Amino acid sequence: MSKRLFSALSFAIAIWGAGVVMPADAQQCSALLNHTFPRLQDESPQPLCQYQGRVLLVVNTASYCGFTPQYAGLEKLHAQYAARGLTVLGFPSADFGNQEKANNTDIADFCFNTYGVKFPMFAKSSVTGTAANPFFTALAKSTGQPPKWNFHKYLIDRDGKVVASFASDTTPLDKRVTSRIETLLTAPQNLK
């Protein structure tokens, strides 16, 4: 084999190989999910990009609210649909009536021991106003509907786009929520 042909083949293989490897290394993450938050139970950083490609139900939660029993419905949704691609994400907040416990350890104990919560929960943060965490700021901007109370819900499709917003009094097992989840779970992902 000539030296020139060998060089050309080596160059082509290097370019082809780089093209194959790069997309796997640089997984796409939507701008909406490009945030990292501490996990509730141990405050280890959790990138939301790990949920790219899943249907997400994002909820601001509180321990001392009249809607707190919705944890049971959220956990039921998680158990029922997780294998099909749904992830529920909980964000404790004291923004409304200071109805959340003072520290993350107490919140984690309450969620896990009282309601058996297994879906991902993040450290306590603000979800409204100028102090809102950047994820909830983006959710509110995307829908024009910031949370008005605890247990407001946002539904995000597999492509990382907000497709629905549900008020606090809409329970997790409400037909409006479950039918939208079912539709999103059966819809193909838009591979870019």
CATH number of the domain encompassing residue 83: 3.40.30.10
20 lies in some domain: no
pTM to 2 decimal places: 0.84
- Does the structure show a pLDDT above 70 at 26? no
Specify whether the CB–CB gap between 185 and 85 falls below 8 A. yes
Q: What is the mean pLDDT of residues 176-189?
A: 93
Structure tokens at 109: 């104990």
162 lies in some domain: yes
5 lies in some domain: no
Nearest to 142 by CA among 127, 125, 126, 164: 164
52 lies in some domain: yes
Parent domain of 84:
30-186
11 lies in some domain: no
In the chain, helix, strand, coil percent, each to 5? Answer: 40, 15, 40
- Residues 6+ positions from 117 with CB-CB distance below 8 Å: 71, 74, 75, 90, 111
Q: What's the domain count of the chain?
A: 1
- Does the structure show a pLDDT above 90 at 22? no
- Does the structure show a pLDDT above 60 at 11? no
pLDDT in tens, 47-63: 999 999 999 999 999 99
Please say if 29 is a catalytic residue. no
How far, in Å, CA of 172 to CA of 137, rounded?
A: 22
Q: What is the mean pLDDT of residues 97-116?
A: 96
Given 29, 49, 65, 111, the catalytic residue: 65
143 lies in some domain: yes
Three-state secondary-structure class, residue 192: coil
25 lies in some domain: no
87 lies in some domain: yes
pLDDT in tens, 32-48: 999 999 999 999 999 99
